Structure 1
Amino acid sequence: MELEGARYQVEVAADAASRAQGLMYRDSLEDGHGMLFIHDQQGPQAYWMKNTRIPLDILYFDNERRLVSQQRDVPPCSAGDRCPPYPSEAPARFVLELNAGQAAQIGLRNGAVLVISPSITVPETNAHTER
């Protein structure tokens, strides 16, 4: 996938179990890699860093794949259920987690468009009812 001219190889989390697992218990995330979370519908999203060992940028995108919210340099959390949430500022359907600092490195601004590779299956949604 591509974002602001930068290409990333992503793992896809498109079901509840893979979204819940996310990047937990990993000691590193290779440069140029990330995880793309695909939700069934656009809506308020909040991610947390429970059992996540690496700092991340959490990027929220709407149905049109436009960046609507950013949580940059989110620290790891080992406090279990006491880890704080990092919510989107607007409804989102796609969430991209990258190594912390990537958003700053590519000069990412809200409104940027996420280009998802044709090899990644994105289930259809009733986008017109989500706006």
Structure 2
Amino acid sequence: MRLFLLLALSLLSAGCASRGQAWVELGGERFSVEIADEPDERARGLMFRDRLAADAGMLFVHAEEQPLAYWMKNTRIPLDILYFDARRRLVSVSRASPCSLGDRCPPYPSAGPALYVLELNAGTAGRLGVERGDEIRFSPDIPERGAP
């Protein structure tokens, strides 16, 4: 019984650790990402943060593919906003500046329907040289939705 309990605890710990180790690969680089797949997580995003590690980002997972627009309300970090479709292909990139204007912050719309949105430090997309149609790869623990 004791061995079973230890095994169960180690499996549970491994499962928790894997959720915290989510990553995406884009342009030959791997980024550790926080997942925002619930409405309240997507609404909060990276608000009120003062920094984002160079190898980190946030991946927003939506319920369905559609035209999207993000804004920088209460966001202090300049960001690249990368929109991906259900096939995980890059739709468009916007470079967004911090905004403290509340509901008057400008939107950054996708150039077409998107399902996933990746936010990285501003300038990362340019440094990677990503282009429309480039594919993003996910770690196994990232939920996929709507893929054909």
Q: How does 1:1-131 map to 2 (within 5 A)?
A: 1-72=24-95, 74-122=96-144, 124-125=145-146, 127=147
- Offset at 1:5? 0.6
Unpaired segments of 5 or more residues in structure 2? Answer: 1-23
Normalising by structure 2, report the TM-score. 0.82
| Equivalenced residues, count | 125
Please list every run of at least 4 consecutive aligned residues from structure 1 whose deviation after the TM superposition is greater than 6 angstroms.
Answer: none
Query: C-alpha distance in 1, partners of 2:141/2:116?
Result: 16
Instruction: Give a deviation string over 1:4-33, Cα, whole Å, max 9, x none.
Output: 111000000001000000000000001100
- SS of the residue 1:96 aligns to: strand
Normalising by structure 1, report the TM-score. 0.92
Unpaired segments of 5 or more residues in structure 1? Answer: none
Find the structure with the greater CA-based Rg. 2
Q: Which has the higher helix share?
A: 2
- SS of the residue 1:44 aligns to: strand
Identity %: 58
